[in-house]
Structure 1
Amino acid sequence: MCCRRPCSCANRCALRRKANDRPGARRRRRQRRRLDRRTSRAGTDRRRRQRGALRRGKGANAAVAAARAGAAVRYCGAVGRDDAGSGAVAELRTEGIDVTDVATLDGVSTGTALIVVDRKGENQIAVGAGANAAVDPAAVRTAVARAAGWAGCVLVSAEVTPDAVVAAVESAASHRIPCVLNPAPVTSGLVELFGLGPVLTPNSSS
């Protein structure tokens, strides 16, 4: 290992070292680092070389991970009647996830999140809730009740309505199904649910 990546040619490494030692090379590297620090602050614009897009959020990512690990997964949530929503449901179905309890709603868009990750791996997320803000608590209770005979865990994301979160955690407790609650973002009413014994997976700032 040399020059931070494998290289089969010593001459190639020597050329890289020579390029890094050219007049001004170190100065340019320092300038880039200063620019990184300066433009990563709030109120600044930043251009990046890479961008990625997925038609799923935090809860759906967890569902996909569980399905790929061999678990039987049923997803409960809501999407808008738009291309993003149909694409998200199709992706879940392709992963072998049961989407019976995913509602398609008129008059709202599918939820969207913009995630920015810095060089240290820390992220900031801006969320447009869309259909997530219209998840029906009664539908959540029904979905948990239907899964009571076989589910080994209910995983709850707090990016839906607080009433839907309460419905999920309370229903899991009443049916004695272990519950994992991701309290991010922290909203009013979440603390009262802690007494029901869910496993918490908060962000570092929560």
Structure 2
Amino acid sequence: MEQHFPLILVIGSVNIDITARGAHLPAPGETVHAQSYTIGLGGKGANQAAAAARLGTGAHHRVAFAGRTGTDDFAKQARSYLTAFDLDLTALASDKQHPTGLALIGVDQKGENSITVIGGANMALDHTDVDRLQPMLEQARVVLLQLEIPLDVVEYAARCARASGCKIILDPAPAPSRPLPSSLLSLVDVLTPNETETQALTGLYPQDEATAEQASQELMRQGAQAVTIKMGGQGVWWQTPMAGGFVPAFAVSAIDTVAAGDCFNAGLATGLIQERSLQDATRLAAACGALATTKEGAAESAPEWEDVLRLMEKQNN
């Protein structure tokens, strides 16, 4: 990717995903026979980096990914998958003390999923990993963060990114067990929770536009400068201090919702690096998330830039 293209920096987790597909997800104590399984790249950080990089091929931006793998066979697989997305991996460290992250995923015939994550090397990230990123932070325009690495590292990364003048997108996933500290949220340009994460952060479940707006206002009261609430098949509510609105869902045939939220965030970063308004960037992000549900897998489901533009144009017509 050409060096003069603007840079998106993703700091976060990388996993190997083992995905089983069956008729339904198992209840506690139940054994379900799956029809198939796949092994591929995952982790919210890696998914968002891969999706942003795939978009960047057509949208003309670069993507760097910072995180940790182990030194096991899964690490070799993860690095091989990431390399195929034309990512800058100079900040992806090898950890001799911890295994590569692993995710065990079940997907039912409706495309719904259930995920168990073993953090491994992802949870060993510390401030030294961020300190090594200073040259990249000085180049980056947008930094993407999630919650699959230690929370204090997320906040430190956000603080360093803010000092370097970057726009910061925080995906508060997986859903936190308690509200996030205002010291972190005050550093965030756009917070991007889904319904479950919104409820965890505010106590409010966004079931329609009115409750989504109410929850957004609460998240901004907690410190976030702007919010997009991902409401699955309904659409997305976006909110700034000056305005808010609803972006309806794009009509697609969903088969797998894994990583749809990650592709949404990659699309949002793309929109912001193009200096679109939050409303326009949210619509772009919603198209990316929708297209991700039409393919199986996590990083593998990331859409191409031309397909995103085509879907947006189709809905316009």
**8 Å contact from structure 1 (residues 162, 188) kept in 2:** no
CA, structure 1 residues 72+48, in 2 after alignment: closer, same or farther (shift >3 Å)?
A: same
Aligned pairs for 1:126-205 (under 5 A) are: 126-143=116-133, 145-185=134-174, 186=176, 190-192=180-182, 193-205=184-196
Could you tell me the percent identity over the aligned residues?
A: 36
What TM-score results when the alignment is normalised by the length of structure 1? 0.74
What TM-score results when the alignment is normalised by the length of structure 2? 0.50
Q: For structure 2, which runs of at least 5 residues remain unmatched after alignment?
A: 1-21, 198-317
Amino acid in structure 2 at the alignment position of 1:53: I
CA, structure 1 residues 124+198, in 2 after alignment: closer, same or farther (shift >3 Å)?
A: farther
CA distance in 2 between counterparts of 1:179 and 1:134 reads 22
CA distance in 2 between counterparts of 1:76 and 1:181 reads 15
CA, structure 1 residues 37+68, in 2 after alignment: closer, same or farther (shift >3 Å)?
A: closer
**8 Å contact from structure 1 (residues 181, 201) kept in 2:** yes
CA, structure 1 residues 105+120, in 2 after alignment: closer, same or farther (shift >3 Å)?
A: same
**8 Å contact from structure 1 (residues 169, 198) kept in 2:** no
CA, structure 1 residues 125+162, in 2 after alignment: closer, same or farther (shift >3 Å)?
A: same
Provide the residue aligned with 2:74 in structure 1.
84
Per-residue CA shift, 1:126-162, capped at 9, x if unaligned? 110100110122222431x222333121111210111
Amino acid in structure 2 at the alignment position of 1:64: A
**8 Å contact from structure 2 (residues 162, 168) kept in 1:** yes
CA distance in 2 between counterparts of 1:148 and 1:170 reads 11
Moved over 4 A (4+): 36-39
CA, structure 1 residues 40+142, in 2 after alignment: closer, same or farther (shift >3 Å)?
A: same
CA distance in 2 between counterparts of 1:188 and 1:83 reads 35
CA distance in 1 between counterparts of 2:108 and 2:117 reads 18
SS at match of 1:196: coil
Provide the residue aligned with 2:89 in structure 1.
99
Larger relative contact order (CA 8 Å, sep ≥ 6): 2
Provide the residue aligned with 1:52 in structure 2.
38
More strand by share: 2
Whether 1:109 aligns to 2:99 is: yes
How far is 1:50 from its partner? 1.7
Per-residue CA shift, 1:138-197, capped at 9, x if unaligned? 222431x22233312111121011122112211122222111111112156733211223
Provide the residue aligned with 1:16 in structure 2.
none
Amino acid in structure 1 at the alignment position of 2:152: D
CA distance in 1 between counterparts of 2:95 and 2:177 reads 24
CA distance in 2 between counterparts of 1:129 and 1:177 reads 27
Aligned pairs for 1:115-126 (under 5 A) are: 115-126=105-116
Amino acid in structure 2 at the alignment position of 1:134: A
How far is 1:201 from its partner? 1.9
CA distance in 1 between counterparts of 2:54 and 2:29 reads 39
**8 Å contact from structure 2 (residues 49, 87) kept in 1:** yes
The number of equivalent residue pairs is: 170
Amino acid in structure 1 at the alignment position of 2:32: R
Aligned-pair Cα RMSD in Å: 2.2
SS at match of 2:111: coil
**8 Å contact from structure 2 (residues 68, 122) kept in 1:** yes
Q: For structure 1, which runs of at least 5 residues remain unmatched after alignment?
A: 1-35
